[in-house]
Amino acid sequence: MWVTNGRRGQTFLLIAKTNPAATPAHRGISAFVIEKGAPGLTVSRDIDKLGYKGVETCEIHFQDFAVPEENLIGGEEGHGFKHVMTGLEAERLNVAARGLGVARAAFDEAIAYAQQRQTFGKPIAEHQTIQIKLAQMATRIEASRLLVYAAARRKDRRERCDVEAGMAKLFATETAHDVSLEAMRILGGNGYSKDFPVERFYRDAPLLMIGGGTNELQHLIIARGLLERSKK
């Protein structure tokens, strides 16, 4: 389920349990590179989503699909979980950066509109309530940017960054949701229409809070990482 570009992609990473009896259970997981074309792999349907309409998300069906031994990543069984966890750090940074982008795009629309739209003879940007909203939105965006950059620097240095990536992903994606909603409120009825892109930002933001590990899971990852570091 939830295979991005599943219909158009030709090469995939497949995670499979190759040793169900292994303890702990994650040691029985292996990773494979697989390709379309061999019998037994079909794209069964496209999943209709709330947002992110620019890319297909698919369900892929396997039936007696054989994978050659040489397609095993790393050449050893039981290391699939490690490969996945290493990739998740990069994925969470990617999702965090996308959240930052969505938030910034929504803010840019809101601040531009607030300076053009007039009520009671002046731009709504001159009303205190709108100014407070803009200030809060911009502050959260800047905090998100700093978190994303800090986590990315650790990743570039090949340092462990599960806590930092989790913080960046959690904060930036929640910011994307909240800022896009505030942008919609600033635009009023126009924000709810497809005449402006804000409604799309609002529909795209929820996926970021789910993908790469839900934000509820990020709380646990951050807390456990902090507790682990405090013992050293």
Residue 31 sits in a domain whose CATH number is: 2.40.110.10
In a shared domain, residues 62 and 35: yes
Q: Which of 57, 76, 95 is the last residue before a domain boundary?
A: 76
Q: Nearest-CA neighbor of 201 among 94, 129, 92, 110?
A: 110
What would the pLDDT profile of 68-120 be if each residue is shown by its tens digit? 999 999 888 999 988 888 888 899 999 999 999 999 999 999 999 999 999 99
In a shared domain, residues 52 and 131: no
pLDDT averaged over every residue in the chain: 95
What is the structure's pLDDT at 82? 86
Q: Which domain holds residue 37?
A: 3-76
Q: Work out whether the CA dihedral 39, 41, 46, 52 comes out positive or negative.
A: negative
What would the pLDDT profile of 167-204 be if each residue is shown by its tens digit? 999 999 999 999 999 999 999 999 999 999 999 999 99
pTM: 0.91
In a shared domain, residues 188 and 201: yes
Q: Which of 33, 51, 76 is the last residue before a domain boundary?
A: 76
Return d(Cα 40, Cα 201) in angstroms, integer.
38
Q: Which of 42, 57, 76 is the last residue before a domain boundary?
A: 76
Catalytic residues: 91
Number of domains observed in the structure of the chain = 2
In a shared domain, residues 98 and 178: yes
What would the pLDDT profile of 117-166 be if each residue is shown by its tens digit? 999 999 999 999 999 999 999 999 999 999 999 999 999 999 999 999 99
